[in-house]
Structure 1
Amino acid sequence: MFRITKEFHFSASHQLTSLPPDHQCARLHGHNYIVEVELSADGLDDHGFVRDYHDLAPFKRYIDESFDHRHLNDVLGHEQVTAEYLARHFYDWCKARLSETAAVRVSETPKTWAEYRP
């Protein structure tokens, strides 16, 4: 199995309103997110690629236009926009356009990652 990954960055705010009011994540706050998309294939195409990295340009546009410097609860119309929720959302978006999508990882801080991999 061949695997490739590409990393994307954006900054946004969110609020986890179901948490107790004294929990830091219940307050409005933001992160510098890192999203890592993993593609995999049993074989390579005629150019020796799993997929040309340039084919991920629409995903970068999607993040830049829809997520960067936005309030994620409003963007996604969901009250609990966690890193786990974002990983699944981005996986579904990528999988619908890139059949080789195997997983998506999302980081909110340098020490934490959430991953969606079916």
Structure 2
Amino acid sequence: MIIYKTFTFDSAHFLPNVPEGHKCKNMHGHTYRLTVFIDGEITGPYGWMIDFADLKKHISPIINQLDHHCLNNLEGLENPTSENLVVWLWNRIKLLIPELKRIELNETATSGVIYEGK
């Protein structure tokens, strides 16, 4: 069984490695949507895999590092593309939630990245 929870955060960034004149070379922002998928079995008397409140408790400190911050200032994220950001997120979430199966990060309503730790 896979459960999921979605989080949103607003962050600014610029992409230092794109060519001069590319619009993403300039500072700009996104309202990101992060969906975290957990794989496991129903355990215990409550009839759930993990309490969604506990999942939120684990993920919120990571989101707070990103929300209303410049992603270029994060340690280990010098080139904050969506692809690099999703790996950065994975590495932090996986330490807290070993059952992490997949994360999806949307930069816009129509663009995003899916990562399964490969």
Normalised by the size of structure 1, how large is the TM-score? 0.90
Q: Give the structure 1 partner of residue 63 of structure 2.
A: 63
> Residue in 1 aligned with 2:36?
37
User: Structure 1 residues 77, 40: CA separation in 2 closer, same or farther (over 3 Å shift)?
Assistant: closer
Cα drift, residue 58 of structure 1: 2.7
Deviant stretches of 4+, over 6 Å: none
Query: Which residue is equivalent to 2:2?
Result: 3
Deviation at 1:62, TM superposition (A): 2.5
Structure 2 counterpart of 1:45, one-letter code: T
Query: What residue in structure 1 maps to residue 27 of structure 2?
Result: 28
Aligned residues: 115
For 1:22 and 1:50, the matched residues in 2 are separated by 48
CA distance in 1 between partners of 2:48 and 2:88 (Å): 25
- Look up the equivalent residue of 2:43 and give its one-letter code: D
* 3-state SS of paired residue (2:49): coil
Q: What do you get for the CA RMSD once the two structures are aligned?
A: 1.3
**CA-CA distance at 1:77 after TM superposition:** 4.6
In structure 2, the partner of 1:78 is: 77
Unaligned runs of 5+ in 1: none
CA contact (8 A) 1:88 1:104 kept: no
Aligned AA for 2:42? L
Q: Greater shift after overlay, 90-99 or 2-11?
A: 90-99
Q: CA deviation at 1:104?
A: 1.1
Matched residues in 2 for 1:36 and 1:58: separation? Answer: 14
Structure 2 Cα separation of the partners of residues 76 and 30 of structure 1: 19
Name stretches of at least 5 consecutive residues in structure 2 with no aligned partner. none
Q: Percent identity?
A: 29
CA contact 1:59–1:94 (8 Å) conserved in 2:
yes
Q: Deviations over 1:8-31 (max 9, x none)?
A: 111011111110111111111110
Higher strand content, 1 or 2: 1
Residue 111 of structure 1 aligns with an amino acid whose one-letter code is T
Distance 2:81 2:49 in 1: 30
SS at match of 1:13: strand
Q: Aligned with 2:107: secondary structure? A: strand
